[in-house]
């Protein structure tokens, strides 16, 4: 791996079957990192990871079963990338406004986008601390930093929550050689983002100083750097990768 000589690390990536998660898993693999790929889609088994597990992150029992399977196989996770995210839509108005968000949608979004990263971190960070090295990288969103008209309150709340979780966890574990950071993508070409109305996408691109949509590989490159040894003095940070659409 870039910046880490004579050490083979293992990275667990959620949402690894497509989009940003797939790009991250592929980049790690190209860097010689063993990849544990988690996704609710069966297609995760086709990406060539060292271990590929079909896991519905909204179900706590499935998360626990996956962690137990990895422990049984003797897998020690050095790098945790919490990438999986959902933005359920139940409205015919182009997006869910707050009055459209039922309890079930709210609970599901919280479970996948925020509770799953917490539970995976809680399970895996103690091992990183014991080994004296670790990386936790949470994939949030520009919508967790500022108002984005095309997104929804439930999604934005979870991404803002990830940013706060990152800061607190970083403060607790950095003295043990474990860094915790957030990457906050802007508009990136992914199945989730591209499912939005075409007019909404065009309006969004018009607000981006870079004048284009980002590519998943650009997020993967950022994540790879944060997971590297040269990034060991970066912790508790939120790295905005958004073409200048939001400059905090």
- The Cα diameter of the chain in Å comes to 54
Are residues 78 and 129 in contact, defined by beta-carbon separation less than 8 angstroms? Answer: no
Which residues are designated catalytic? Answer: 155
What 3-state class would DSSP assign to 30?
Answer: helix
Q: Helix %, strand %, coil % for the chain, to 5?
A: 45, 15, 40
Are residues 201 and 156 in contact, defined by beta-carbon separation less than 8 angstroms? Answer: no
Q: Could you give phi then psi for residue 135, rounded to 5 degrees?
A: -140, 130
Are residues 180 and 162 in contact, defined by beta-carbon separation less than 8 angstroms? Answer: no
Beta bridge partners of 135: 79, 179
Instruction: Return the CA Rg of the chain.
Output: 17
């Amino acid at each position: 791996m870039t910046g880490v000589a004579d050490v083979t690390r293992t990275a667990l990536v959620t949402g690894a079957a497509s989009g940003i998660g797939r790009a991250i898993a592929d980049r790690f693999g190209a860097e010689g990192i063993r990849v544990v790929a988690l996704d609710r889609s069966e297609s995760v088994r086709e990406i060539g990871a060292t271990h590929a597990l079909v896991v519905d992150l909204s179900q706590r029992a499935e998360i626990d079963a996956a962690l137990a399977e990895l422990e049984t196989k003797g897998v020690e996770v050095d790098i945790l990338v919490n990438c999986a995210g959902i933005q359920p839509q139940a409205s015919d108005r182009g997006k869910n406004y707050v009055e459209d968000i039922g309890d079930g949608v709210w609970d599901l979004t919280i479970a996948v986008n925020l509770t799953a990263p917490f539970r995976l971190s809680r399970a895996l960070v103690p091992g990183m601390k014991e080994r004296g090295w670790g990386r936790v990288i949470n994939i949030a969103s520009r919508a967790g930093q500022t108002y984005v008209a095309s997104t929804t309150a439930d999604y934005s709340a979870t991404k803002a929550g990830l940013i706060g979780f990152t800061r607190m966890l970083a403060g607790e574990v950095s003295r043990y050689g474990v860094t915790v950071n957030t990457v906050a993508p802007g508009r990136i070409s992914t199945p989730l983002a591209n499912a939005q109305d075409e007019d909404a996408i065009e309006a969004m691109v018009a607000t981006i100083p870079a004048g284009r949509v980002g590519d998943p590989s650009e997020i993967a490159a950022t994540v790879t750097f944060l997971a590297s040894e040269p990034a060991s003095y970066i912790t508790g940070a939120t790295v905005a990768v958004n073409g200048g659409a939001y400059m905090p």
